[in-house]
Amino acid sequence: MNAPEHVTVHAATGRLSLTWNGGHTQWIDNATLREHCPCSTCRRLAHAGHAARVEPHVAIVDMQPMGYGVQIGFSDGHAQGIYPWEYLAAIT
């Protein structure tokens, strides 16, 4: 999957917007992104039936492009997950 045309962090609303080819814009709440972190630690917790404790007002404090996706750093200090574009497109 190709990278979106635009990726924007909206600090005031606590959401990330991704504008995909063709003009479709997807909005994802920061807390939802954090809950769906694909890093090995968070996946291990999920497989064990546990969920990461996520503050409802968690903020995105850093975002680094990785070619096939983006690494997101959150205000709770978590920054291990790299979110592939296909993975982000599937989050509702």
Whole-model pTM?
0.91
What CATH number is attached to the domain comprising 61?
Answer: 3.30.2020.30
Number of structural domains the chain divides into: 1
Residue 29 inside a domain? The answer is yes
b or e along 21-49 (b: 16 or more beta carbons within 10 Å of the residue's beta carbon)? eeeeeeebebbbbbbbbebeebeeeeeee
* pLDDT above 90 (res 52): no
Domain region containing 28: 6-90
pLDDT at 92 over 90: no
Residue 85 lies inside a defined structural domain of this protein: yes
Q: For the purposes of burial, counting CB atoms within 10 Å of the CB of 62, is it exposed (0-12), middle (13-18) or buried (19 or more)?
A: exposed
Region 16-38: mean pLDDT is: 96
Q: Would residue 81 count as lying in a domain?
A: yes
